[in-house]
Amino acid sequence: MKDKKKRRKALEEMIEIITLSIPREIDSRALYMDAAKKAATEDSKNLFLTLAKQEKGHESMLRNILEVVKEELKALDE
């Protein structure tokens, strides 16, 4: 029972952190997209677009992890 409580707490903490992280990834992507629009050179524009793409990937990865963690928490209740 104690292990189940510890696992529940760990999963809830993961959900909280991931939920807080997703908007930050979205904000970072927007920042890089804006910087790409204002870039003075093609190289800097490409850099910012690459960074924006990476942030989109991070967001997607976090959303996938969030679903897995939520499912694990749900299974813990069954």
What residues contact 48, with CB distance under 8 A and at least 6 apart? 32, 33, 35, 36, 39
Check: pTM over 0.75? Answer yes or no: yes
In a domain, 78, yes or no: no
Tokens of 62: 């976090």
Q: What is the pLDDT of residues 30-76, one digit of tens each?
A: 999 999 999 999 999 999 999 999 999 999 999 999 999 999 999 99
In a domain, 8, yes or no: yes
Q: How many domains does the chain have?
A: 1
Torsion of CA 27, 29, 32, 33, to 10 degrees: -110
Are the beta carbons of 25 and 16 closer than 8 angstroms? Answer: no
Q: What is the pLDDT of residues 23-35, one digit of tens each?
A: 999 999 999 999 9
User: What is the distance between the alpha carbons of residues 49 and 63, in angstroms, rounded to a whole number?
Assistant: 21
In a domain, 23, yes or no: yes
Domain encompassing residue 10? 2-73
Are the beta carbons of 47 and 28 closer than 8 angstroms? Answer: no
